[in-house]
Amino acid sequence: MIPESGQLDIKTYMSEKRQRIEEALETCLPPEATYPQTLHRAMRYSVFSGGKRFRPILCMTSFEVCGGSGEAILPVACAVEMIHTYSLIHDDLPCMDDDDLRRGKPTSHKVFGEAVAVLAGDALLGLAIETVARRLPKYAGYETTTRVLVDLLAAIGTDGMVAGQLVDIESEGKPVDATTVEYIHSRKTGCLIASSVRVGAIVAGASDSEIERLSTYGSKIGLAFQIVDDILDVVGSFGDLKSGAGL
């Protein structure tokens, strides 16, 4: 919980939340030994590859800020992380961004092959939706569960991450204006971050006006996150950024 005093040790808070998410994810994902083992190994390889859990932590924080407490948010936070991981697996594919490394480790398609990587991403997306549909109703009821699912699915689809990825692909090697760049960033990165914040508030029972304000916050955070990521692609590290290297 966020302390009533308002004094927050952010590193401790993030660490505690990350640990809760890791434990909850373990209960959501099938064990590696469960058939078909290759699929489950690939799913777990990417989910447990050392991510910061930024999006699910935002989800949990939004839930707490809006008065939520207890375990209700964990299925949703886990779903957010699984959706994020699915998107990373697919983004790394040779037909997309063609990345060999992710978080300092070989990407899924480099370890398991392209076909398995595609299927692992698909399976994580399906499991994310199933996790919310199965686990959230006992805490928050079916109406809230439906709202959460609709929000998450919208963040993925034709005006969400998939749309952003498509426009990014179509823009490769071409001059693009600021409007197009903002569209790509707001969809590829911003949509899921904003949804993470919104669904946390929804589960907590926040008012529509509170959800709207938090949605705006999430969108701005998502855009800032992508801008920093793009700068680091050029600069290399926060240390280089501080020294001005590469700029």
Rounded CA-CA distance 230/40 in Å is 32
| Domain parsing of the chain, residue ranges | 10-243
Residues 10-243, CATH architecture: Orthogonal Bundle (1.10)
Rounded CA-CA distance 99/87 in Å is 13
Amino acid identity, position 55: R
- pLDDT over 90 at 228, yes or no: no
- Cβ(168)–Cβ(188) under 8 Å? yes
Give the pLDDT of residue 9: 82
Q: How confident is the model at residue 2 (pLDDT cuts 50, 70, 90)?
A: low
Mean pLDDT of the chain: 91
Q: How confident is the model at residue 6 (pLDDT cuts 50, 70, 90)?
A: low
Helix axes 10-28, 74-91, angle to 10 degrees: 80
- The residue among 235 and 152 whose pLDDT is bigger is 152
- pLDDT over 70 at 191, yes or no: yes
Q: How confident is the model at residue 224 (pLDDT cuts 50, 70, 90)?
A: confident
- pLDDT over 80 at 245, yes or no: no
Report phi then psi at 206, rounded to 5.
-65, 155
- Strands 105-106 and 101-102, by their bridges, are antiparallel
- Among the residue ranges 4-18, 112-126, 155-169, 187-201, the one predicted with the least confidence is 4-18
Q: How confident is the model at residue 50 (pLDDT cuts 50, 70, 90)?
A: confident
Rounded CA-CA distance 218/149 in Å is 18
Give the pLDDT of residue 225: 84
The residue assigned the tokens 């109406």 is: 143
- pLDDT over 80 at 206, yes or no: yes
Rounded mean pLDDT of 183-190? Answer: 91
Give the pLDDT of residue 10: 87
Give the pLDDT of residue 108: 96
Does the pTM surpass 0.85? The reply is yes
- Cβ(54)–Cβ(85) under 8 Å? no
Burial 118-127, CB ≥16 within 10 A → b, else e = bbbbebbbeb
Segment of 48-52, 139-143, 232-236 carrying the highest mean pLDDT: 139-143
Rounded CA-CA distance 150/25 in Å is 22
Give the pLDDT of residue 22: 97
Give the pLDDT of residue 1: 55
- Cβ(86)–Cβ(128) under 8 Å? yes
Give the pLDDT of residue 200: 98
Look up residue 193 and give its two tokens: 């971050």
The residue assigned the tokens 């390889």 is: 45
